[in-house]
């Protein structure tokens, strides 16, 4: 468990500073003329897009973890796919490091669940 959490944490700590340098996020493209309540929901930490990143990373990671019985495999697969998606988004709408962080959280949860099931 600790190894998979370390892998997820290292990936996030290494990739976020690289991505944050000049990254344009979807929050930057949300019109400022919207009411503050609507704007907060669309750009907040728990917006639907970020919850989708977390849940998809958890699902993919748990599937891989159950197949391999390796928590590190669960975290690595989910993180790798999340990073690939954000790199692809970087060419279109902009790399969003918070989306990657949500995916890393899902990957860590998948590693924990894999470890719990594999006992």
Residue 110 confidence (pLDDT) above 50: yes
The alpha carbon dihedral of 44, 34, 82, 106 has a sign of: positive
Q: Are 92 and 24 in contact (CB under 8 A)?
A: no
**For range 26-33, the mean pLDDT:** 54
* pLDDT for 48: 78
Domain coordinates in residue numbering, the chain: 2-22+46-118
User: From CA 61, how far away is CA 18, in angstroms rounded?
Assistant: 24
* pLDDT for 77: 95
pTM above 0.75, yes or no: no
90 or 105: which carries more pLDDT confidence? 105
DSSP class of 93: T
Which residues are CB-neighbours of 108 under 8 A, at least 6 positions away?
Answer: 4, 5, 8, 9, 75
pLDDT, tens digit, 9 for 90 and up, residues 65-97: 999 999 999 999 999 999 999 999 888 888 888
User: From CA 14, how far away is CA 39, in angstroms rounded?
Assistant: 30
* pLDDT for 1: 53
Which residues are CB-neighbours of 44 under 8 A, at least 6 positions away?
Answer: none
| Phi then psi dihedrals of residue 105, to 5 deg | -65, -45
């Amino acid at each position: 468990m600790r190894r998979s959490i370390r892998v997820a944490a290292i990936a996030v700590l290494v990739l976020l500073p690289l991505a944050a340098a000049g990254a344009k996020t979807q929050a930057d493209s949300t019109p400022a003329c919207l009411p503050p309540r609507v704007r907060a929901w669309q750009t907040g930490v728990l917006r639907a897009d970020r919850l989708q990143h977390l849940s998809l990373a958890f699902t993919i990671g748990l599937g891989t973890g159950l197949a391999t019985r390796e928590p590190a495999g669960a975290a690595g697969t989910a993180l790798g796919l999340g990073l690939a998606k954000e790199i692809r988004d970087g060419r279109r709408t902009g790399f969003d490091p918070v989306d990657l962080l949500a995916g890393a959280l899902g990957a860590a949860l998948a590693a924990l669940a894999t470890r719990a099931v594999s006992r």
